[in-house]
Amino acid sequence: MVLFSIGWGLGQTSWTQPAGEPLTVSLIQGNIDQNIKWQPEAVRATLDLYLRLTLASKSRLIVLPETALPVFNVDVPHDYFDILTRHARDIGGDILLGVPEYVGGSTPRFYNSVMSYGSSPTQLYRKYHLVPFGDYFPRWFFITWVMNTLDIPMADFSRGEPLQNPLAVAGQRVAVNICYEDVFGEEIIRQLPEATLLANFTNDAWWGDSIASAQHLQMSQMRSQETGRYMLRATNTGVTAIIDDHGRIQEQAPEFVSISIQGTAQGYSGSTPFIFWGNWAFLVIAAGMIAISLVKLPRSHDT
């Protein structure tokens, strides 16, 4: 009862304050089937789809999902990014899109990245919390030998830095998180309180027509509540949504359709208790409850 009362009471307080004017946003859902997403013959159609949906949007911030472009950034047709940049500048805004990043050198590296194009200088975020057997393979002898033998591109992403700055785009500072990074609240707050918006880029097509996408949406809603920030979710197959600073869904796209949803997002500044304490408050409470349960109380004896 005490814990529920405290939670309800904290939820009635506005911990953050609006920062700047409301921002028009477009979230693009390509709905590219996972079975063809990485097929070479499907690349051109995928690029054309995202280009068409992007050019049709007039919002100041346009967001495309994780690995929306299924080729390395260096292999994207040269004029593709130029077209996106010109469009964003024409409308006085910016585009954020997911694309695998190739960094050459004596030891080439690959990153699961989000890049910005438009009125602001080009910036990027590299995924830090990688998915085992999805983004990378653990360095176990047998698996390492198999992967080295197969030599599959983009099967072993490098890890981004744990501390990365929010992306300064469209007059806001956006804390980017990719895929299931939004599950880990204490990692999200690394970019706070500097960030005014949160943005999740994901591809939940792996889970098919299951409840997993809806569960992932709920996790994003929790991050909004914890931080007092809007969350913009751009996904491949769903659930694409605009979530307000209280975790309420403002706009939501139907799953498994190619669509662009439009809406507004308000940037926020300030710190919530979770931004300040992280998980420590909950760990202290849990430790206290355990300690209380271990205390041996004196027994009363009937005389």
Locate 266 and state its tokens: 């308000």
For the chain, the first-to-last Cα distance in angstroms comes to 36
Exactly one of 21, 41, 66, 187 is catalytic; name it.
Answer: 66
Exactly one of 58, 101, 127, 226 is catalytic; name it.
Answer: 127
Q: Where are the beta strands (DSSP E) in 107-210?
A: 109-118, 124-126, 167-169, 172-178, 197-202
Does 127 participate in catalysis according to the annotation?
A: yes
User: Strand, coil or helix: what is 148?
Assistant: helix
Q: Where are the alpha helices (DSSP H) in the chain?
A: 2-11, 43-55, 78-90, 141-150, 185-188, 212-227, 273-277, 280-294
What's the Cα-to-Cα distance from 16 to each of 13, 19, 60, 88, rounded to whole Å?
Answer: 9, 9, 23, 29
Q: Is the dihedral of CA 207, 209, 212, 214 positive or negative?
A: positive
Cα distance between residue 97 and residue 13, in whole Å: 34
Exactly one of 21, 37, 41, 179 is catalytic; name it.
Answer: 179
In this structure, what DSSP letter does residue 93 have? Answer: -
Cα distance between residue 273 and residue 33, in whole Å: 40
Question: Omega of the bond prior to 239 within 30 degrees of 0, cis?
Answer: yes
Catalytic residues: 66, 127, 179
